[in-house]
Amino acid sequence: MAYQRHAARHAQNREDNASKFTAVCIGILCGLVLGWVVLETIDMMFTSSNVHYNPEAQLQDAVAPQTSLGRRAKEKFTQMLEKVEKAAGYAVSRPGMDGVSVKESLYNKGSNPTSAAATSASQESPRPATTQSPEIKLAGEPSTSESSSLSKNSSPLSSTASSTTSSTTLSSKPKGDTIHTLMTSSGSGYQNFQGRIMYGTYKIVQGMSGGDKLTGFTRILHRVKPDECMDEIPTFHAKPLHPECDVWCDFPVADRPNAVAQWVDSVKADPSKLLGAWVLLTECDYVWIKPMPVPGDAISSDVPGWQFHFGYIIAQHPDCAHIIKRLYGGGDPAEVPNSGPAPAILRFSELGFVMPFWEKVTAAIEADPEAVKVLGWVREMYAWDIALAQAKVKILTEDPPKSPLIAQPPADHTIGNAAMFHYTWGAIYNDTTHTVWRWEKRDFTQPTAALKPKLLPMPPEDWAPGKWHLQGNEQVTEEMHKTLASMIKRMNEAIDTLPDLTEKYKALQSA
């Protein structure tokens, strides 16, 4: 009995000790959780109070690891910047991470030698002094503050002449109503099919009244290897951040901001490459219908540029407003335009000022899993919009049919004031039993589709009310039908002029 009583007391003691140990562990865990909550609360209080007061603070806020999500993304963001550094050829500071001034790390081209920030940058930046160049600005053009891009003024892999009809150089001061058009491309068969047709329609409208204002065209190719279009389309060959995109990658558009930045730097190193007072940013899937007008005299400081209002870009949408606010450094998403980098027309100096913001916000988004998931395929468009707001570059954002830039059939039934069509959506005519006509750019993804494009079938001519509906059951109206027909007709006019690039393609593949 004594033994049994002793064993019972021993078991009770073990149970009591285990309970005490469990209580201590729970107490420690609760203390850690409470401490984490307090620290996060303090962190978020300081973050939310960091309202954007100037572009430098905004850019720091956009990439700072402000929350636990941001801290978890820091490593990925650092890896992204390492890719930028590799392409740029020099190390850049990490604003918001190491406390280094953004102006010291980015605005270091010496565009304003009297500036203390520029002086400090020239002394501290590892960038070679020979890469510094003066700000490119037309005589009398409104000045921006020190502007630069993240990339080094390194020589591109290759570059052809950037003008199709004009040898205008900066020394001859392009007139304030001239346009240098940029088109970005990854060089895939899908984009080369579109890009060749786009450039063909560009050359058609150059021959129209007012086409003489289109004084330069450059395709910015972000790709490791040259492609078969290098000799046909004036091309600037940028070094890609993601070489794997030559074959396949899930988001090749992530290279676009850095590629444009490399072109901006190349113009600063060689001003003769700038062939217009206005710079028009475009994409491959555009069709020129008439020459683009200009916002006004680029020399006049009270003339804003233009961009297009995309209905599916909504910075204030409840699903993404908190993300936009975070990327905007706590700023109001209502200040962020609902547009994208193309189409947009602005001065070269304005583009140069926006570039570092665009690159940094793009990198911040790619390092933010939530932003990637929610913003999806159009996240680089949001990066441009946030960059514009941060840089405080004012561009007039207009809807169709008022916009002079693009119309998007079949969503837009008429071209309105636009100079170009954008075929972001397909158009498939159906009657009550079957498909009677189809236009879908995603049918042309193979590399061989771009080598010698075939004429596209025109929409059937026998339109009648209620006869056809689109893939979404929308009725094909007469004006929609005529608009689509005019777009396909112009594309075929361009296709008729395109040479066969099959042999050139084969030679590149075997090289």
Q: Are the C-beta atoms of 185 and 221 separated by less than 8 Å? A: yes
Query: What's the CA gap between 185 and 505, in Å, rounded?
Result: 17
Q: What is the CATH number of domain 55-398?
A: 3.90.550
**Residue 215: which H helix or E strand, with range?**
strand 214-222
* Cβ neighbourhood burial of 309 (10 Å; 0-12, 13-18, 19+): middle
**Residue 327: which H helix or E strand, with range?**
helix 321-327
226 contact partners, CB below 8 Å, separation of at least 6: 157, 158, 237, 508
Spell out the SS3 assignment of 112-170.
Answer: CCCCHHHHHHHHHCCCCHHHCCCCCCCCCCCCCCCCCCCCCCCCCCEECCCCCCCCCCH
Query: What's the CA gap between 495 and 201, in Å, rounded?
Result: 9
Nearest of 86, 368, 115, 352 to residue 240 by alpha carbon? 86
Query: What's the CA gap between 153 and 182, in Å, rounded?
Result: 18
Query: For the chain, which residues make up each domain, given as ranges?
Result: 55-398
Neighbours of 456 (CB within 10 A): 16
What is the chain's percent helix, strand, coil content, to nearest 5?
Answer: 45, 10, 45
Range list of H helices, 328-477: 348-366, 369-375, 379-391
Around 456, how many Cα atoms within 13 Å sit in the side-chain half-sphere?
27
Q: Are the C-beta atoms of 365 and 324 separated by less than 8 Å? A: no
* Tens-level pLDDT at each residue, the chain (511 residues): 444 444 444 445 445 554 555 555 566 555 655 555 444 444 444 333 333 323 333 333 333 433 344 444 445 545 554 554 454 443 433 333 222 222 222 222 223 322 322 222 222 222 222 233 334 444 344 444 433 333 333 333 334 433 333 333 344 568 899 999 999 999 999 999 999 999 999 999 999 999 999 999 999 999 999 999 999 999 999 999 999 999 888 898 999 999 999 999 999 999 999 999 999 999 999 999 999 999 999 999 899 999 999 999 999 999 999 999 999 999 999 999 999 999 999 999 999 999 999 999 999 999 999 999 999 999 999 999 999 999 999 999 999 999 999 999 999 999 999 999 999 999 999 999 999 999 999 999 998 999 999 999 999 999 999 999 999 999 999 999 999 999 999 999 999 999 999 999 999 999 8
What is the pairing mode between strands 179-185 and 420-422? unpaired
* Cβ neighbourhood burial of 310 (10 Å; 0-12, 13-18, 19+): buried
| Predicted TM-score (pTM) of this structure | 0.71
Query: What's the CA gap between 162 and 145, in Å, rounded?
Result: 27
